[in-house]
Structure formats: structure tokens, C-alpha cells
Chains A and B, each alone.
Chain A
Amino acid sequence: MSGDDRYDDHISAVLQECPGVDRDEIKAAFQKYEEEFFIPPQDAIRSIIRRFKSETDTKPAAKAGQSNRTTKKVNRLSELKSDDRDIEIEVEIVSHNVREQMIRGESKSIAFGLLEDDPWQEGGGERTRWEYKDWGNNSNIAPGSVVRIEGASVNEYQGRMSLNINQSSRIAVLREGTRPVVAPGEPVDISDLPSDGYVCIVGRLMSSRPDQIHRRDGSGSIDVIRGRLADESGAIGFLSWEPFEYEVGTLLKIDGAQVKTFRDTPELNFGRTTKIEPFHDASFADTDSLKEGMVSTISKLRDGSKDVEIVVNITSWEKRTFTKEGQERHLWSGQIADPTGQCRVSAWTELPIETSSLPLTVRITDARVRAWQGIPDITIDREDQITILEETPWEGELDLENLKIEVPLDELVSGPSRVGISTKGTIVSVREDSGTIMRCPECRRVLREGQCFEHGAVEGNEDVRLRLVLDDKAVTCALLISKDAALALLETDHPTMVDQIQANGSMAYVQTIRDKLLGCEVDVTGRIINDGQGAMILCDGATLSTTDTGLKATELRAQWGLQ
């Protein structure tokens, strides 16, 4: 410890408050705070004074505070009076138009349109429709969206009421618009397409084939064209209800196509109002390079994808037999892997695959993808969809045991379900049901008070599980750690855990887990399920991150030019 007199001023300050205390004792206290707890003297001083002052300090009078806002909340527009201001209401936006207006010599964009109350149709009655003006240039008002408007005011002009959304008003989007307006004629990249709505794109025709859609009532069929379009950002399937006679390879500008999303896969629909014309752009990527870009990887597979082309290793293969309608049928299924991950494959026809020659590298074309529990399953219907390759397009062997793709948490949480991932984050919560649990011997469901949701009162099997929450990069994700990984992370074993829980109770045990993990950074591996109810990682391996604090601090200084 450098400079013995470094605390002199602080010690004097303590002595002023607590006369008669031994200097050395105060100094020792400062040293302890600093060395054992990283608390500098200016921050430790109050705690030290409090300790030396045996008489407790006065209590500050508790202040009861109430916000003095007088927001008027209403459900229906009819409840509003012409002089109401600072109102709050939930509405559906019917239309939204932007107009440039000169206000005191300055051009400003003012939006106006129609809105309707009772957006959730709870009232059962007729909706009321009003005009509105948005002075706040709110970017989140879109036709079809349901929003909560806070701080709007009512305007009455010649007996007609309308709503003014002021600059200070807040718009909270409760339901995204299902009809987003993309400026007509402004092409969007395929990867940026919304999941619903009318769009304009420029893309190269990669494939097209006639198809028929059979009316469900058996009244006939409709001729349609299916195919794919691609640009440098990606590819998308389309369905044309109108005649579509362009050659593969043609660059097309398509205005007024409708995006529809089936499962997780968007598709373009061309109808009567869609304008399709050849487009000229010499710098647009050619068919060959776009084709390369269309070859998928396991990490990109989505439920509902069609026309998938992919090169993978088949790592396991088995034949299953089942009976359907008295007939014996066969299904082949296996595991596949590429450098981006692992998933499943199924075939409804026998393929030239010998289990003895595995792993086998194959190219699969024209396949469709279904997902089960979020894990993609590529389905092969015909033998000609598969080509056996001599070698893998990637270098080296895939280490299947350790094939974990490192993905940042924000990407995982906003993406689809995936297997074989690794990520990192901070543990921000240890749920109170972490520790030992009882599982139903039939279905492995966790028992609640000895009861299985499905099988009633059963004699459960004891298991270990941690239920945590992992945060990173402004996203949050549930984290379930299975037995072996949990015991390894806590550096304990099952009997010890049971002993401790029996000795001190489960709450006390949860606290010991928090003492060990809360606020710590961890590296985890496993798979993620993302089903729209929030993301959840099923973790089979977790270790506390060993980032060197000093090193990280030095990096930060360098990165941000501090000192």
C-alpha cells in the first residue's frame, strides 16, 4: 500500500464525526475496504462513520409521492368531449397519409388519416371512426396497426371531432400493422421484405414451373405458376395467379406483389394488380452467382421452406416401419450436419445410403422443410433429389461431438430454433424452482406437489435442473440447465445437493446458487427453442466465463480512447 498518509484527510473527516476513535483503527478500516472490497476511501467513509457512531442517525421522513398527471383514459371515442386534452385511448389506424406542409416558412411533414376505436372488438358494437392529425411525425403509426395514443387532444371544427396527436404524445404499438405500406415503386431487398403486405422488388427469375391448385370443394382447379426470385440479399418463392411467361434468368421488376407468410416462410403472390416488367440493370448479379447464394445452410433452414438446395453430411441413417391403413410403410430418417449446425432429414423413398459408408456427403435439391420442436427436418420425396458427392465443400472433418456454432444471444433470440449452438450472457435470475425436482416416470414432466399434469399422482423420479434467465445485448432468454451440466457448474454432486436442501431448505439452497451465479457471465452450449412464446435455451454445458477483468478494462480504455 503506497503512501501511508493517503487516508489522512479521510481519517480527519471521520474523527470530526466520531471524536475519540483510535486513528489506527480508522485507518485499518479504510485499508480493509480498499483491499478486500475495492471500495476507495471517499466511498467507504460513510459506512465507516456509521460503524463508529453507535448512536443511529435520524430517519428521513418518508415522503408519500403521487404523480399529478391527469390523463383521461377512455375506451371509446364517444366518451371524449371537444375540450379534452391529455387523453389516452387504444385505436386501430385505418389510414395514414403524409403531407408536406409549409409552416412559418419551414417545410414539415404532417400525417393525417382515419382511426377507429375499440380495436380489440371488445365492445361488440359498431366502431367509431375519427380523423386524426399527427403533429409528432410518429414513425410507428402505420395502417392496420393497433396503437395506444397517450397525450392526444380533441379538436372540434364545425361540429366535427378529430384527434390531435401532439408532439409530446406517445404512441405505443400494441399490434404491428398487417398492411404495412411500402412506398410504391421503391424496390426492397428480398431479405428486408416484411412478413405481410404489398411490396415492390427487383429480382432475377431463378425457376418457374406450372402448377395447379385444387379447390377444396372439388369444384375444379386453378392453374398457377410457382417459382423463385433472387437478389444478392436472398431468394424467395412466388406464386402467380395470372399467366407468367418469363424466361428463367430474366431480371424483373415486380410492383404490388403481396407477401404472405406460411409457417416461418414468406412467399410472394402475384395477382391482377401486380405489375411485372423486365428490368435492366447491368450490374445486377447474374444467375450463376445468385444460384450459389441460394444454396442453403442448416442455420438458415426455416419451417415451411421449399425448393431448398443444400450440401450436408449425413451422419446417421435408419429405416423405420409403420402401418397405416393396414399397409406396411417405410420412412427413412437420419441426422445431418454442416459447419453451421445439425438437424434431421427424412425420406419417403429408399435412397442409396449404406449405414456402413457414413458419414456421407450429399447434395439435396428441391427439398421441403418441416420443423418439429423447432428443429428443422428436411424432407426428401424422390431419389433424384439427392446426389452423392465425392468430398465436402468445406475443409476438414466435422467434429460432431463439439460442433457448436457460436451465435450472439441477440441473434439467437430473434432467430429460429436451432441445435448445436453456443453463446454467452449474464445470469440475471435464478428461479426459485432451481435445484432438485421430481419428474413423472411416464412422460418426464415436472411434478407439482406429486401430481403430473397428464398422469395424476405418481411416484416421481428425482432429477436436477437449474432454471435461469440469461441476458446479453439487450435481449433476454430463459436458460434451462440439465442435471450433469448443472452439477458441474455448481461444482457439486447430486447427494450433496439433496443433503444441503434437506438441512437448510430449498429457499436457502436457491440463495447459495444465486451467491454463486447471479450477475456472472457464462458460456453455454445446447439448443434453443424459439416458438414465439419467448426464447429458451436447453443447455447441456455451462461454464463461468473466465474473462480477465484487468485485460477487459485495458481493452476498454484503448477502444474508447480513455487516457
Chain B
Amino acid sequence: MGVAMMTPSRQIQRQPAWFMLASEFGESTLNEKGSGEFDPTFVITKLGAKVNRVVVSGLVERLEIRETSNGSQMYQGQLRDPSGLHYFSVGEYASESMQEFIVHLLGKVDSGEPVLLCMTAKARWYQTDEGAVYTSLRPEEAAIVSRDRYASWLVRACAATLNRLDQHQKSLNCEPSKEAMLKEGIHKELIDGLIAAQAHYGQIDTEGYRLNVMQALDIAEGKMAAATTAPPKLNLSEPTSDDENEGDGEDLQAVILECIQAMDNGEGVDFESLVRNLGARGFSREQSEAELDSMSDEGILHEPRFGWFKIVA
């Protein structure tokens, strides 16, 4: 009988792992964290996956030891799959077996030997003072895998991505409510994430994810020639550049309009939500505040009540 089981309150339950390519995870700028000490943290992707844990695989592109500010050691690395890069770190908090593994791995990577890794990892998220959001992974367990196991992971990650693309597409046709989404045939586990993702990301272009999948499938099938693309532009000496995070006034204005459009259900959008969303897109609080002021002055926005913004029709 399909009677809903009552789940006991406040029980810490293990979160299932998502199969996911690097691009979908890396492009996420939304997170969710409960207030309880043991509440899970989630990174919510553009396709609505509420990710606490992932199974990822790829080539270890870099692995280094860093000294942290408190004098302990931290291993930082990058894992590349056909869609992009994951950043991961292993510190003192990692399990004994993970620490043993990472030492062993470092030796292998340093020798110049290509290493394919499969790992289960927790999703991490942080926001810089400027508001830029970075995702990274904290590996729990890892294994060095063969080409064929990597291919098998690729196919499963593709299947999962295609499924999410389909569910995301379906969600565009219905009201952002649980009932409407269930009616549309959207899987229960995606509904929360899809609603949150829609409010935060607004309209997204999913073509990139489809291309990633097609390329990953080519690779999984061993069609390497088809999967080959031109060499990327290399800027190895400057691994991080901040230029994409510095929006000028024009950009910010466009993003503000986009945000309000996406979030306004008739009441306007409150200041805090706007600033938080803009923060997630890389604009500082001060920047956003100033721009909101000047847009109100210019008559692009109005405040139907204090602290709530609407676009002047």
C-alpha cells in the first residue's frame, strides 16, 4: 500500500551521490544550507540537482601540497573530464585512508604518469568577498581506475545529465510549484532543486551541456578523432583571472533587470534577495546598492513599497 512513510525528524541521513560532469557542477552559483549543525549543505546546479555528494571521474591534471594558514598541509588538485575541471582538496580532516591515498597519488602524479581517478566527494561552495561563487570537491574516497571504468562512468554521467536536461525542459512548461511539477511527471527528488534553480538562474542555455554529453559519449565509445577539438587557449601562468567577475555598470543593470524579471511574482523583489542573487553573480553589495539607487533615479525601477523593486513597465 502506497502510504507515505513518516520520516523521523532530525535524523541525519546519508545523502545520495549524483553522477555529474564537471561543467554542470562548476557553473553552479546557488547553495543551500540549513541552520542545524548536521544539516547537509547543497550546491544547486542550473539543471536543478541538489548536490551534497557526487561521483566524479577524470584525469588528475594537477596535485600540489599547500601550507594552510594554521601550518597544516593541504593537498589541492584538479580533475578534468571532457566538460571541464573539478577543483578538490584533501586536508587534515580527511579520513586516514584518504590521506594515505593522496600521498600515494601525489607520487604518481609527480612522476608525470597520467592518472585516471574515480572519486566520491562532498560538494563544497564558497563565496568571495566580491560575491563570486566557487564550487569545489572534498573527496571522501577515491580509486585509480582503468580507461574502461572511466568510459563506463562517462556513460552513466551522460545518462544522468540527459535525464536532468529532460526534467529541466519539462519544468519550463509548468508553474514553479510542487503540485504542478509532479503533474508534469517531474521526479520528486528534482522538484525542490528545480524550483530554487529557476528562481535563481532564470533562463539558462542548456546547449553547452548537450554538447558536453555528445563529446563524452564519443570518448566513451572510443571515437577519439570525433572527440578531438582544437587546442585550447592556454594561460597556464595565470590560473585565476578575475575579469569575468567585474561587471561594469551596463552588465550589472542588465543582470538586475533579468533578476527582477525572473523573481517578480507581482509584488516586486525585495532588496535582500536581489543583493544576494547579484552577489552570487559576482557583484558586490555596494555595487548592487548603488546601481539599484541610480536605476530608481533614472526611472527604470520603482519601489511600490520600501525595499521592494519592480521594473517600470
Binding site for B on A (CB under 8 A): 2-3, 6, 9-10, 12-13, 17, 32-47, 49-51, 57-60, 62-69, 73, 85-86, 88, 90, 103-104, 106, 108, 135, 137, 139-140, 146, 148, 150-151, 153, 166-168, 170, 172, 174-176, 190-196, 233-234, 236, 261, 265-266, 300, 302, 414, 426, 428-430, 432, 469, 471, 474-476, 507-508, 510-511, 514-521, 532-534, 547, 549-550, 552-554, 556-557, 559-560, 562-563
Contact = CB atoms under 8 A, between A and B. Distances in A.
B246 interface: no
Q: Is the interface of B mostly helix, strand, loop or mixed?
A: mixed
B38 interface: no
B236 A40 contact: no
B152 A194 contact: no
A515 B112 CA distance: 20
Nearest to A235: B1
B159 A556 contact: yes
Contacts, number: 283
Nearest to B82: A43
A519 B153 contact: yes
Nearest to A146: B9
A168 B151 contact: no
A520 B152 CA distance: 8
Interface in B158-202: 158-159, 162, 166, 177-179, 187, 189, 196, 199
A268 B4 CA distance: 15
A188 to B, nearest CB: 11
Nearest to A8: B231
A507 B97 contact: yes
The 9 closest A-B pairs by CB, nearest first: A168-B273, A519-B118, A175-B9, A474-B189, A13-B231, A518-B143, A51-B112, A65-B126, A476-B16
A191 B177 contact: no
B63 to A, nearest CB: 10
B114 A38 contact: no
Given A47-B59, A106-B266, A476 B228 contact: no
Contact of A39 (B114, B129, B159): B114
Contacts of A167: 199, 263, 265, 267, 269-270, 273
Interface in B3-27: 3-11, 13-19
Contact of A471 (B17, B140, B270): B17
A69 B276 contact: yes
B279 A552 contact: no
Interface in B192-250: 196, 199, 210, 213-214, 217, 219-222, 224-225, 227-232, 234, 236-237, 239-240
Interface of B: 1-11, 13-19, 32, 34-36, 39, 53, 55, 57, 59, 61-62, 64, 66, 69, 80, 82, 95-97, 100-101, 112, 114, 116, 118-120, 126-129, 131, 134, 140-145, 147-156, 158-159, 162, 166, 177-179, 187, 189, 196, 199, 210, 213-214, 217, 219-222, 224-225, 227-232, 234, 236-237, 239-240, 263, 265-267, 269-270, 272-273, 276, 279, 285, 307
Tell me what chain A mostly uses at the interface: helix, strand, loop, or mixed: mixed
A121 to B, nearest CB: 13
Contacts of B95: 432
Contact of B225 (A6, A175, A195, A507): A6
A46 to B, nearest CB: 6
A192 B32 CA distance: 30
A9 B273 contact: no
A514 B142 CA distance: 7
Nearest to A64: B69
B143 A519 contact: yes
B166 A471 contact: no
5 contacts: A64-B69, A168-B270, A190-B1, A474-B16, A520-B152
Nearest to A86: B272
B159 A518 contact: no
Contacts of B178: 139-140
Contacts of B53: 428
